[in-house]
Chain A
Amino acid sequence: MNTTGFVFDERYLLHKTFNGHPECAERLLSIIGGLSTAGLLEKLMLIKAEPADQRWIEAVHNIRYIMKFEEACLWGLPDFDHADNSICRDTYEVAQLAVGGVLKAIDAVMQGEVTNAFCAVRPPGHHAEVNQALGFCYFNNVAIGARYLQRQYGVDKVCIIDFDVHHGNGTQHIFDTDNTVFYYSIHEHPSFAYPGTGREFETGYSGGEGFTLNSTILPGRGDEEYREKLLGDLVPAFESFAPEAVLLSAGFDAHESDLMSGTSLTTEGYDFINDTIMELVNTHTNGKVVSVLEGGYQLDILPVLVTNHIRKLMGV
């Protein structure tokens, strides 16, 4: 059994979105409930989150964008950059704390306190661009994590695997020209799903050509196509890139019961994702992986999927 770290902080609940918004505080409460019922909560090593130092956020985001976001929250505006991105006065600090939670998890893994970690954070991050909030995301938690791994721990090659049902446009664009961060995303085909990017011909450019890989899933194709693409695309690319550490953009919105998407992935399909990733990580990076929550909006199934995911991280 692995020692698995778990990042959670009650302050993550303070980011209040408008009534009926799918990215709500109840998502995290449902996850805590699920882990507690499964008897896993006490077996995880709780990692305390601290607000990220601004210089790490600046490693990815434009300083003017960071200021604009803080101001929007302080002034009590209802949303930021787009009506999707519902905010409240606390959102800025919670977003800082979400990044900080991921950095703390990275510390714990890199200093050998835990083998791997799951970060139950919000707001999510993978749609956030260098200077634009999109799709409920403000700071790109995983992208900042990748820069932190490189600059704080001297990790040369980081792989980000994004299995949220939506393409992580922000993460892709941040590392478009970078050959030290390999970005793999598997998501519903962009002709049908938000944000409409992540086609298979998007493979990075100039210095980063070949260091972005997108696998698209047509509506309704579910488990079989996920299996085919993970084995055919992810596994060989991962092995040839040979990363030293892995970050996951863990989205649980591809499930057949989640109205956010149409990919029809089953609970067993998610297990296949978990198993494939864990095998890669165990074989190639000494098990070093930090998994960060992105989407997943069906409150009955989200805790089940996260619990299964964490079981695989723990190796039980």
Chain B
Amino acid sequence: MFITDMMKTDLIAVRPETTLVDAIQLMETGNFRHLPVIDGDGKLVGMVTDRDMRSAKPSTFLSEEEYQLTFDKVMQHTVGEIMTTELLTVAPYFTLQDALLVMRQKKVGALPVVDEKGRLTGIMSTRDLLKAFVNIMGIGEPGTLLCILVNEQPGQLKKIVDIVTEENVSMGSVLVARDWDEKKRAIFPYLLTNNVIAIKKKLLDQGFELIDPMGWYLGHLPQKK
């Protein structure tokens, strides 16, 4: 899954000479936290975040009058003066996995996506990432989660998939917990159906164990010392 499928492409960008008053207006009406700054060729030259904006604003401890006075003065400065220019950008061929790992490691909330000429083509934010995960887990559609304990040996998942297929049911996703127990794995198929009785019966008949997910959760909580 490439980030080009998930990133936001209908972007609002500003020039370095845009005033803070205009920029803040754009961010507030558009309800976004990352404002890209581009030059005349569409090249990305900086980013302004809502945090940068907050630091630029006067202190809330000032009196109302003082605040307004300072605010009006500050807001005439340009985004070029406060924007971050050391940018972490990614290329359109980055995958969801890349974005996930980069954002986690670098602790950033959004990644500007630029082409080989440095032109801005999109922004991948944590919000887009969350949306992608809802999609990947299949939970945008009605379904039921099964919790199955299997021995750690090849072919287990196939047996489960065969049973689900025999019952003419589609899968939204399958998650595997590898650290369940020694030599055991837990498999969580999300089935796009309400009709799970026949599948559960067949699984039990074939020797699979249906587990109580809460047992796993509680059993794995850190023990109090």
Contact = CB atoms under 8 A, between A and B. Distances in A.
B212 A84 contact: no
A83 B145 CA distance: 18
A218 interface: yes
B212 A134 contact: no
Nearest to A20: B198
Counting contact residues on chain A (CB < 8 A from B), the size range is 20 to 34
Given A191-B145, A194-B143, A197-B142, 16 more contacts: A83-B168, A83-B193, A84-B193, A84-B194, A192-B144, A193-B144, A194-B194, A194-B196, A195-B142, A196-B143, A219-B213, A219-B214, A221-B214, A259-B200, A259-B201, A260-B194
B197 A260 contact: yes
Nearest to A221: B214
A136 B198 contact: no
Contact of B169 (A22, A83, A197, A262): A83
> Dominant SS at the A interface?
loop
Task: Please classify the interface of chain B as helix (H, G, I), strand (E, B), loop, or mixed, using the class held by over half of its residues.
Answer: loop
A195 B172 CA distance: 12
A136 B145 contact: no
B128 to A, nearest CB: 21
Interface residues of B, number: 21
Nearest to A192: B145
B195 interface: yes
Contacts of B193: 82-84, 194
Interface in A157-214: 166, 169, 191-197
B168 A135 contact: no
A83 to B, nearest CB: 6
Interface of B: 139, 141-145, 147, 168-169, 193-198, 200-201, 212-215
A194 B142 contact: yes
A252 interface: no
A22 B215 contact: no
Given A83-B168, A220-B215, A221-B214, A196 B196 contact: no
A192 B194 CA distance: 11
B142 A22 contact: no
Contacts of B215: 220
B142 A134 contact: yes
A21 B144 contact: no
A83 B198 CA distance: 14
